[in-house]
Chains A and B, each alone.
Chain A
């Protein structure tokens, strides 16, 4: 419900504090979607509807806390990695669905900095803004806090390798970060239909420094939706 002026999805901790979440075990489905360009199995789909789903159990939600990062931000909240992640791509009246290899894609909600969505894991490294997350800029995404309440929310959509990329505008000089998202080719996700990549095409660059993202909030002009359905075991529509 609030305007997330300082909110920046910063699940940036590489040395997290993790703790089991004291919650009841209930089936849950998370859905996040936006329109974007994606590649699956070598085929490029432009301006496709890209819908991620994750089916799991609320008993597998884990509390995390990154501690205060060099940027000054802190990421904390719930995440879930144990479950099944899929992506459905719809373009030109055709749809294709792929299942991600186990453990690559999870769902997280950053209650400290605001933001939620589908994150990815590469060994011990986390990509907190890839493949699809939503920040708190003029957003109601904070309503998804806890990942245990049924609802649908919206926000700026990010598919950004290396997120958070940039913290120049509000706080730092010189800036922290490169101001650009990394190449998705460096973070290829594997599915039962081949390699998957998603691209961030609609970016707003800074008025202070040309050619880099405005910031980690308004830097993405894409928007999308995140839903939690507690008690659901299906794949949805």
Chain B
């Protein structure tokens, strides 16, 4: 009897550890924005307008923690990415070819979204702060959380702090759109290398002082993967 209990305890401990380390759950990261927030969106030879939706299907077990630029970031580099642009009943879906983009959240600097190996952490599209300081005034909830991390939650409604995420669970973040190669809008330029999709090369062009907002979400399915 005593041995049986011990075995059960050991088994439960093992399964518990395995559940967090190897048995991830399906997750879908989505970044919503719109074409008026950027210079233009060109897919192949077609310029597209409307609601922009970047999507990245992965598994929470692929989420990693990294130190980049002296701060902790969360990222997911393994998944299937796509781009959907829709205006009314017109919808275009392009599947992004593998090993080009990743999902990344930098809670210290208030940056979340889709980066690319060819053009950096801000391109093809991320949400972050405008202006010199990252806080709620300049950066939606992603800016607010950055402010809370450094200072306090005093100036925010109680639900804001509850939006903190590590890309391993459900997420809901807002911010201003950045789609710039190499950095923020002060160094915004158009990409030298397009992102390749099954609909042709994707280019998001910078122009003028376009401004716009976006929403980033993560939805985790309760179904585990990697089990029996």
Which A residues are closer than 8 A to B by beta carbons?
Answer: 1-3, 29, 34-35, 47, 138-140, 143, 150-156, 201-207, 210, 214, 218, 221-225, 227, 229, 232, 234, 236-237
A1-B211, A140-B37, A153-B34 known, 11 other contacts, Cβ within 8 Å: A29-B88, A34-B215, A152-B87, A201-B160, A204-B160, A205-B155, A221-B144, A222-B140, A223-B214, A225-B51, A236-B88
**Residues 158-201 (chain B) with a chain A CB within 8 angstroms:** 159-160, 163, 170, 172, 174-177
Residues in chain B near residue A34, CB distance under 8 A: 215
B148 to chain A, nearest CB (A): 11
User: Within 8 Å of chain A (Cβ to Cβ): is B92?
Assistant: no
Contact in complex: A221, B141 (CB < 8 Å) = yes
- A151-B37 Cα distance, complex, nearest whole Å: 12
Bound: A138/B131 CA distance, A: 11
Give Cα A155–Cα B156 distance, bound, in whole angstroms. 19
B46 at the interface (CB under 8 A from A): no
If A138-B211, A152-B87 touch, whether A204 touches B36 (CB-CB below 8 Å) is no
29 contacts between A and B (CB under 8 A): A35-B215, A35-B217, A140-B210, A150-B87, A151-B36, A151-B50, A152-B34, A152-B87, A154-B212, A156-B213, A201-B159, A202-B144, A202-B157, A202-B163, A205-B154, A206-B155, A210-B155, A214-B136, A214-B137, A221-B143, A221-B144, A221-B156, A221-B160, A222-B174, A223-B175, A223-B214, A229-B88, A229-B89, A237-B86
Contact B32 A225 (CB under 8 A): yes
Report the bound CA distance from A139 to B135 in whole Å: 17
Query: Chain A residues with Cβ under 8 A from B144's Cβ?
Result: 202, 204, 221
The residues of A that contact B32 with a CB separation of less than 8 Å are 225
Contact B212 A140 (CB under 8 A): yes
| Residues of the B chain whose Cβ atoms lie less than 8 Å from the Cβ of A225 | 32, 34, 51
A205 touching B137 in the complex, CB below 8 Å, given contacts A35-B215, A140-B210: no
Q: Which of B14-62 contact A (CB under 8 A)?
A: 32-37, 49-51
Across the interface, do B215 and A224 meet the contact criterion of CB distance under 8 Å? yes
**Is B172 a contact partner of A138 (Cβ separation < 8 A)?**
no
Q: Tell me which residues across on chain A come within 8 A of B154, comparing CB atoms.
A: 205, 210
**Could you tell me the distance between the alpha carbons of A231 and B141 in the complex, rounded to whole angstroms?**
35
Could you tell me if B174 and A204 are in contact, using CB atoms closer than 8 angstroms? no
Structural contact, B49 and A152, CB atoms closer than 8 A: yes
Q: Tell whether, in the assembled complex, residue B140 and residue A223 are in contact, meaning their CB atoms are under 8 Å apart.
A: yes
